[in-house]
Amino acid sequence: MKIQTLYFQAPYRVETCESELPALAPGQVLVKTAFSAISPGTEMLVYRGQCQTGVVDENDSLSSNIQYPLAYGYACVGTVVEIGKEVAPHWLGQTVFSFQPHASYFLSRPEALIPVPESCSPERACFFANMETAVNLVQDAAPILGEKVLVLGQGIVGLLTSALLAEFPLEKLVSVDKFFLRRQASLAAGVDSALDPASAGFAEAARAILTPGADLALELSGSPLALNAAIALTRFSGRIIIGSWYGEKRAPIDLGGVFHRSRIKLISSQVSSIAPELSGRWDKARRYEAAWAALSRTRPEKWISQRFPLERGAEAYQLLDQSAETAIQVVFAY
C-alpha cells in the first residue's frame, strides 16, 4: 500500500512524498487519516527555518537535533482500519486522535492513540492538541472572579483560550490581534473587546478598558515583542502567562522601566507537563477529559477557514506564510 507523507524539505519548501507502507507488526494498528490540522504557531517556525536546534517541542515530536527533511505535525484524526494479531479487537473501526505528522495512513501502537468520543466529529477532534494547550494555559493562569484579563494573539490557541476564559465571571476580557478575521472570531467567542495592536491609540484604548491595567495577561501571539505590550498593560503585582514558543525569534524586551517596580510575575506555560502545584490532583488523562469536554462546549470546527488535500500542502503553508489574515484554522482533508 502507498502512503502520502508531508515533508518539510528545507525552509519554505514543502513536498508530499509517496512511499510503501511498512508491514503491520503484531502489536500495531493501521490508521487511515481523515483530517489533520496545521498548528501554525509551531509549524510555521519549522516552515520558515526558525526552530532552535536542541529544543524539543510541546509534544516531544520534534527531534532534539532538527534536520531537514522532516515529517512534522501533531493533530491527526482517523479510523483504525487494520489491527495486528496481538491487538484487542475493539480497536478495529475506532476513531482515534494521534500526535502524528501529516500522512494519509500511519502505523501506531494502540497506547499511543487517544480514542475520540462518539459525540465528537473528526473535524472537531483535530482541534484536540490545541485545546489541551488552551486548557493548560487557563489552568496555569488561574483566573479569579472579577479580574480583568488580556489575551494577546488570537490564532487558534489564542481563540480557544479566549473561549475558555469567557466562561469565567471576569470583569473584563480583552483580546488583541492584528487580523480582522480573528478579532471578529474572538468577539463571537465571548470577549468583551477585540483590539488591533497596529491601530492608532491602541495602548490608550487598552488602558481605558483595563484601567488601571490587566490583572492577568496571556502572551499567545508568537511574537516576543508582544511581551512589551503585555508588561505595559499589566497592573502592579499582575501575572503574565507566556504560552508562545518563539523559536529563534528575538526582540528587545523592556525590563528597565515600569517593570522593575511592578512586581509583575512572568510565568512560562507549556503543555508537555502539568504545573507542579496541580500534579497531585491532575494528570494527562484528566486533562484530556477536560479538553474533550471543552471541545464539546466551544465547537471550534466553525473556525476551519480552509481545507486542502495533502498533495497541495505547499499551497497551505504558502497561504499561512503570505496571507495569514485570511486564515484561522487550516486543515488537510484526506
Reported for 96-99, long-range contacts at CB under 8 A and 24+ positions apart, including other chains, are 96/31, 97/125, 97/126, 97/128, 97/129, 98/31, 99/59, 99/61, 99/74, 99/75, 99/129
| DSSP per residue, 28-71 | -EEEEEEEEE--HHHHHHHHHT-PPTT---TTS-S-SS--SSEE
Q: pLDDT-based confidence at 60, cuts 50/70/90?
A: very low
Q: What pLDDT score does 52 carry?
A: 61
The 10s digit of each residue's pLDDT in 70-96 is 999 999 999 999 999 999 999 999 999
- Decide the pairing of beta strands 95-98 and 76-83: antiparallel
Cell matching residue 13: 519548501
Q: What pLDDT, on a 0 to 100 scale, did the predictor assign at position 33?
A: 98
CATH 3.90.180.10 fits 2-126+299-333, yes or no: yes
The yes/no answer on whether domain 130-268 falls in CATH 3.40.1130.10 is no
Q: Is the pLDDT of residue 59 over 50?
A: no
**Nearest CA among 178, 219, 218, 170 for reference residue 198:** 178
- Say yes or no: do domains 2-126+299-333 and 130-268 share a fold: no
* Confidence (pTM): 0.94
| Per-residue model confidence as pLDDT tens digits over 112-157 | 999 999 999 999 999 999 999 999 999 999 999 999 999 999 999 9
Q: How far apart are CA 231 and CA 257, in angstroms?
A: 10
| Domain range annotation of the chain | 2-126+299-333, 130-268
pLDDT digits (tens, 9 = 90+) for 209-268: 999 999 999 999 988 889 999 999 999 999 999 998 887 778 788 888 788 889 999 999
Helix, strand, or coil here: 117?
coil
